Amino acid sequence: DEWASLAASEGVAEPNVLKVYDPSTSLEYFSRRPVTLLKRAWRSGVLLGALSFNLWLDNKLRRRPEDGEVDNAEKKRNETDAKRAAQLVDILIKLGPTYVKLGQVLSSRQDLLPPPYIERLRTLQDSVPPFDDAIARRIVNDQLGPSNVEGLRISDSPLASASLGQVYKGELDGKQVAVKVQRPGALVAVSLDVCIIRAFGPTIYKISDKDGNLDSQALIDEWGRRFIDELDYGLEARNGEAFAAAMRARTDELGQVVTAPAVVPNACTRRVLTTEWVDGCRLDESDADDVPRLCAVALSAYLCMLLDTNLLHVDPHPGNLLRTTDGRLCILDWGLVTDVTPQQSDAILQFIAHLVSQDYGKVDRDLVTMGFVAPEKMAALNDEGLTNAIATLFSA
């Protein structure tokens, strides 16, 4: 497909300048490759431009009327949003894994998109086909080298395929392992796509939400930074190890019940991640009697990350929460995380204290300190009446 061809065009080498997200560096890199940039930009621009035009037309023709403007305004808005959401998902699939990943991220942002978009975007979880197994094996061989590959055997086909890579079940030195292999050329292809999204995204947002206060460019930069970090499987390995070590060091029950897959260090690189194989079932698909307890354990684990370990797993969709055969909770996929500073941890506690004590006047400052709202957006936050809404909600 187009994304695979784009990814393969740069070969197997990863440009060092793209390994850390920097929008100006990415633009400079691809400006020296004008044919690649213009071809992909044209393809993206045509598809996203068609969506932008339809969104503009919807506003112009009042296909998304405000309440009170016409009868059944909410129904008309939902019908229009459902139609555009279907168009958006079709475009994301055509543009490939980068855009599918963006759609998956947006599917959890009910604060940004109307419900019909959220519902449609959630169908993207299974929309990325696997890449060729022969290519995956070649990547494993090139990345790990002869000495480490010699004792490694992987399954004929992947057990799971995602937007950035696919997972094989394998055996290494007599032990069962999971081997995640990154899509070929992903760094170059993702960097180019993020560069283009950064150019088009803010315009599309302004058209679709003309009164919105969102700093869309800052949001895209944050997403791009996380996306590029997620391509470093060595970083993912360190994140998982750090969490597992923090759980082992605890003397309470949480440390005995929650874990992450153990990493096999000599079989990990930037593009190949090997961990122990964990037998179990997705938490949301398990019919075990202790699932309600493990859901509470999962909540406790995430509170622990926020207030204690200072490393927060920010991709907690059901596929990453596993009930092991011995009744523990195993958290998978540590590529997407965020650091929580001590100041933010303190702010979270203060936020909770202000809610409990009904001191709602300090909530807006808490949101800024926690990093949820930029300081320059404080006025917009107050204009939107969020603090009053929180006060109404918690005092009900």
Q: Catalytic residues, which ones?
A: 315
Q: Helix crossing, 216-230 with 97-106: angle to 10°?
A: 120
239 with 311: CB under 8 angstroms? yes
Q: Which of 182, 184, 183, 178 is nearest to 274 (CA)?
A: 178
In sequence order, the β-bridge partners of residue 322 are 282, 330
Tokens linked to 304: 């622990």
Cα gap 183→232, rounded to integer Å: 12
How many C-beta atoms lie closer than 10 Å to residue 113's C-beta? Answer: 20
Integer angstrom CA distances of residue 183 from 5, 146, 147: 12, 21, 23
Q: Smallest Cα–Cα separation from 225: which of 20, 14, 28?
A: 20
Burial of 237 (0-12, 13-18, 19+ CB in 10 A): buried
d(CA 69, CA 64): 10
